Chains A and B, each alone.
Chain A
Amino acid sequence: MVTRSPRWRSRLLLPALLSGILLAVGACGAGATATPSSVTLSFYYPVAVPGPITQLIDGYIAKFEQQNPGIKVTPVLSGGYPDTLTKIETTIKGGGTPPDVAVLLSTDLYSLVDSNAIQPLDSDIAAAGGNTFLSDFYPAFLANSRYQDHVWSLPFQRSTPVLFYNKDMFTAAGLDPNSPPTTYQQLVSDAQKLTKPDGSTWGIEISSDGIPYWLFQSFVIGGGSNVIGTAANQVTFDSPTVVKALQDFVDLSATDKVMPTGILQWANMPNDFVNGKAAMIWHSSGSLANILKQAKFNVGVSYTVGEQGYGAPTGGGNLYMLKGIPADHQAAAWKFIQFMSSTDIQADWSINTGYIAARPSAYATQAMKDYIAKTPQAAVAPAGLQYAKAELGTHDNAQIQKALGDAVQAAITGKSTPSTALAAAQQQATQILSAFKN
């Protein structure tokens, strides 16, 4: 039996439901409104290392806000580097409001300029002292910041690949534990002494998954050249030195038999090292703390090498100021960028995360000196920046990096010879880059 209920109840149900949905949509879509007397910056940052990153960033922001009443910063942990770039690029392309400051890869520069997403920091840097201001940043870390006579970013969380080696195994093999290899030839000969015939230990392990071009660049830069020049629309993948560098990489497993065959995984390298399966590995400078925590032997740190000597690309993220933000935001954003790249913050950030501090003065702070006294290996990577050059960065960077990465993997797996693979990569890259003027 149906009881008669007032008609108004049923009449209101549907509109109530719909307005409820609309209200929820409206509430979620509305952004925070800033009070006239304060500026609220939004700051996107990616995270690539485990650690209390959020707490550290929140701590720095609290300090910044204390020193700068009237500026508030809303941090957003937007995933990894690719995610952060994606969110910002698609925001810009979709006509949305970008954040004010973001940490993105130093090599994202050209994509960001192409999308008209960022603004140069020249005038702000000039006001802060111009070249004097810039001189306290490691030149290697500024290498991917310059384009079209502007400076577009400041380094924030940077790294380089370094060589980790097992000092105890060196001694056992009759090698001097304080003389790690300084050239490619020495790397091979050392590795041959360290490789055990039963396969339980390999002399060297260098991974080629993920972003294979990065570790490969060490071979190239150590050979005296690079895969890019000064133009953002040209690459030199198929030059003789680059081909030789790839041949060197391939030979480690193919002919010298000091490295396992196939594509080794970046994620497993530190574990192989601390388990004694690899006497030497190439890995990020930031992996030091984790390796020291687990290794039961003396760990040495040195530099990656090529034919001529030490060489490495840089890596990691810089601080960018986005375009299209209001004028008062720009002034505040510059203050924030300056703060985050300042000496004390960089020292603290480096100690707690393992990134290389962006400026030499950070290594002169007491906090850093104490840290290096406890962990002397941490001083090696910054000292090696003199051998570091620009990371592969061009227009349409993701595709270009993939082209080179695919070539490296094809050569390592034996699917193709270094010269064929690199020629194909060069052709593909040239075709993509031809659409861009420098």
Chain B
Amino acid sequence: MSRRRPTRRAVRNGLVMAVLAVVAIGWAVPMIWALAVSLHPSNEPLSASNLWFGAHPSLANYGQAFGIAPFAQYYVNTIIIVGGILVVQLVTISLAGYAFARYRFRGQNLLFFLILLQLMVPSSALIVPNYSTIRQLHLFDTLVAVMLPYFGSAFGVFLMRQTFKSVPRDLDDAARVDGANWLQTLWHVYIPPARPAMIAFALSSISFHWNDFLWPLVVTNSAASRPLTVGLAVFTQLGEIGAQWPLVTAGTIIVVGPLLLLFLLFQRQFVESFVHSGLK
């Protein structure tokens, strides 16, 4: 009996692995195909018999894509947007998290609840009034407009409050004895142990805002403030003459290539930070 069980288990394991491998390949195929088609020459029509690289694969589509759309500008915009949001978020959530974690003050529960409302009402449901606000502030078509609604982060405040609460009170008292004011205490006592949480938050914020589409679509108009997502959407709308898949996939790879590369290199950190921020 016991001689058979390992074999059956081994067979079952092998089957499971095989099925998993097939599914995993299926999961990866869309990206692989897009990469192959981006090298397909544009004068060879795509067909069931000519699906992948074409007879003479070339990088010409990439050159053409760069000539049509200012991807470099889109990259710069996206980096500024994502970086700007993150920097301001780190400041606001640290201050607010510190206030909630460290102090007792009247109305603090109500104030905390009001901030948490942001978690329940996502910004995408508020594009109509927020768009009008941006208009009234005369900030339409600016990088700041894309960043502004996100400067306050309920998720971040929640995270920082949790993290700061776990800092032992003794350290705080010691600092106070030494004569530190609130800012020095925050900076020297609370922030250092919160660094992992802040990194997790940073990765989560960066990936959300890098991939944000609807809000930037609504508040940007020109290449000067357009991020990559909207730039790609504009690029794919050049369809009056029919689909140009080699060109469009090249544009898509230009947009996601670096992102995927970064992910490949820092896969573990990415995944861990998502889990960390989520489980909190």
Contact = CB atoms under 8 A, between A and B. Distances in A.
Interface of A: 1-2, 4-5, 7, 10, 13, 17, 21, 24-25, 28-29, 44, 47-55, 76-80, 83, 87, 90-91, 94-96, 159, 266-271, 274-275, 283-284, 286-287, 289-290, 293-295, 354
Contacts of B272: none
Given A28-B144, A76-B221, A80-B234, A271 B184 contact: no
A274 B45 contact: yes
Given A21-B88, A25-B139, A49 B45 contact: no
Interface string B116-149: 0000000000000001100111111111100000
B258 interface: no
A96 B188 CA distance: 47
Contact of B138 (A10, A29, A50): A29
Nearest to A1: B178
A90 B135 contact: yes
Interface stretch (B99-107, B202-210, B238-246): B238-246
- The secondary-structure label for the interface of chain B is loop
B2 interface: no
11 contacts: A2-B175, A21-B88, A47-B234, A47-B238, A50-B247, A52-B68, A83-B234, A90-B131, A271-B47, A287-B241, A295-B45
A287 B138 contact: no
B88 A159 contact: no
A271 B131 contact: no
A2 B184 contact: yes
A7 B184 CA distance: 10
Given A76-B222, A270-B241, A287-B242, A294 B140 contact: no
Given A77-B223, A90-B131, A2 B238 contact: no
A383 to B, nearest CB: 20
The residue among A4, A28, A268 with the most chain B CB atoms within 10 A of its own CB is A28
Contacts of A48: 237-240
B239 to A, nearest CB: 5
B67 interface: yes
Interface string B45-87: 1110000000000000000100110100000000000001000
Contacts of B47: 271, 275
A24 B147 CA distance: 12
A78 B219 CA distance: 12
A293 B140 contact: no
A201 to B, nearest CB: 13
Contact of B244 (A2, A4, A29, A290): A290
B216 to A, nearest CB: 12
Contacts of A78: 221-222
A395 to B, nearest CB: 22
Nearest to B243: A267
Q: Which 6 A-B pairs have the closest CB atoms?
A: A270-B242, A94-B135, A267-B243, A287-B241, A10-B183, A28-B142
Contacts of B238: 47-50
A294 B43 contact: yes
Contact of A290 (B44, B178, B184, B241): B241
B42 interface: yes
A293 B241 CA distance: 12
B3 to A, nearest CB: 57
Nearest to A287: B241
A95 B138 CA distance: 10
